[in-house]
Amino acid sequence: MEDAVRRVVRESDEARIAQAQVEVTDAQITTARAAGLPQARLSSQYSQVLRNARAEIVGQSIFGQNYNYTGNVNFSQVLFQGGRVFAGARAAGDARRAASHSRAETEATLAVDVQRAYLNAQLARELLQIQERNAQLASERLTLVEQLERGGRASRFDVLRSRVERANLEPQVLAARNAVELATIELRRILNLPSTSVVALTSVLDTAGLRALAATVSADSMTNPLRASERAAQSSLEARREGIKVARADLMPTVTAFFQTGYTALPSSNGFPTVWGRTSLANCGTPNPTRPCQNNGWFEDRNFGLQVAWPLFDGLRSKGNIDLAQAQTKLAQLQLDQERERVAVERSRTWAEFRRAEAAFDAQRENASQAEEAWKIAALRFERGLSTQLEVADAQLLLLTARTNAARASTEFYLATADLARARGLPIPLPPTRPTSR
């Protein structure tokens, strides 16, 4: 049972999807926070001017730089965005918490589902053993009636009746075997096991510890912690509320500080510059120069400033975003109310089912042993000629029904306990088990 629960939480498609959703929200948190952190970008450019109108019109010596090299590092920091960065980061954090709570709810549901599939498969095997035992008892009674017929103590009618009763049990045995196969298929499906894999159930439900486990789960029935699904809906609502603040930030100005540093080279001939820039009369090739000339090297280029952007009119785009965020918040509030109502109904339903299963479990605890004792008495009376075959068949049918009801009551009692724990937001317990006899 423990192996099945660990496997379904680790490898099932539902659990993987829930974990992937958490990873998506983790990335969203990083993206939201990045908008408020300093930005640094490296840019470089090389261009070659083929024909320059300004150089021809004004002067070749001033604008006639055919080869341009630039390399810059740009630093920028947003100083004010109307609260968009902080609201976006909080919204991403709320979305991450919602995804985490959804994953917890998914894991709790999977834990109950895999235990239900496991116990149903185990119950199907137990019911098959009961049916096979019932058929074996019918065969033994048929052998006894045939012996009594040879001794003159039973009629041909009694033999025929026993044979018909034995034959009528075969469809029930076949149906029980088919139920075992179907339950195993369902267990393979929920565990993501190949259809050809062999499933061995190594533990069975220990009914002796069920009462103590149920008492622990049902204690303090008036105190119910929030379900993970409720917490997820609450976190989604908080994220939507932060989304309104993000949308309203579009109405506010954005203030950004920037600083740029780099180098620029304007060589007079093609070729990558390899020296630092200097200006000197010696760099001029013409005699008697009137101004210093550059040496085709790299010259420093730095600037800084503040940039303010304030959208005065954007075609009502900001208003549309605000209306959308408000509508999504209203929808999230309704979904939270709906989830709370669903959880309240589910808690009431699971409580009712728990009380029914508890009463059935208590009623069937002694019933099976009493039915077996009654059957033994009826069989002994029939063997000694003190009762009829009809009484033995009736006692055997009661024994079959009692064993079946007892097996079902134990399984249903634990599953009702597990459902109650999930509905109340408690950790899903593992059932008390013992190793199988084979």
Q: How far apart are CA 275 and CA 148, in angstroms?
A: 121
**pLDDT at residue 96, as a whole number:** 93
How far are the Cα atoms of 113, 119, 123, 356, 431 from residue 206, in angstroms, in the given order? 19, 11, 12, 20, 8
* pLDDT attached to residue 57: 65
Angle at 162 between CA 159 and CA 165, to 5 degrees: 150
- 293 vs 171: which has the higher pLDDT: 171
Strand pairing report for 433-435 and 203-205: antiparallel
Torsion (CA) 129, 412, 417, 183 in degrees, nearest 10: 60
Indicate whether 35 pLDDT > 70.
yes
Residue 123 has pLDDT above 80, yes or no: yes
User: Averaged over 153-180, what is the pLDDT?
Assistant: 87
pLDDT of residue 374: 84
d(CA 211, CA 127): 23
Average pLDDT over residues 234-238: 95
**How high does pLDDT run on average in the chain?**
87
Confidence of residue 61 (pLDDT cuts 50, 70, 90): low
The 3-class secondary structure across 275-313, one letter per residue, is CECCEEHHHCCCCCCCCCEECCCEEEEEEEEEEEECCCC
pLDDT of 378-411, one tens digit each? 888 877 777 777 777 777 788 888 888 888 899 9
- The answer to whether residue 287 scores a pLDDT higher than 80 is no
The model's confidence at residue 62, banded by pLDDT at 50, 70 and 90, is low
Mean pLDDT (whole number) for 69-97: 92
Average pLDDT over residues 150-163: 82
Residue 437's pLDDT is: 63
Q: Average the pLDDT over 271-293 and give the result.
A: 81
- Residue 38 CB neighbours (<10 A): 9
Cβ-proximal residues to 4 (8 Å cutoff; 6+ apart), any chain: 114, 115, 118, 187, 191
Q: Dig out the tokens for 344 from the structure.
A: 């309240």
Region 421-425: mean pLDDT is 90
Could you tell me the pTM of the whole model? 0.79
Q: What is the percentage of the chain residues whose pLDDT exceeds 90?
A: 43
Question: 3-class DSSP state for residue 91?
Answer: helix
Domains (range + CATH), the chain: 2-36+94-253+318-435 (1.20.1600.10), 38-80+256-309 (no CATH)
Total residue length of the chain:
438
Task: Categorize the per-residue pLDDT at 295 as very low, low, confident or very high, splitting at 50, 70 and 90.
Answer: confident
Q: Are 432 and 210 in contact (CB under 8 A)?
A: yes
Examine the pLDDT at 59 and tell me if it is beyond 60: no
Question: Average pLDDT for residues 210-223, to the nearest whole number?
Answer: 80
Measured CA distances, 326 to 204, 243, 250 (Å) = 53, 8, 15
pLDDT tens-digit series, residues 352-365: 999 999 998 888 87
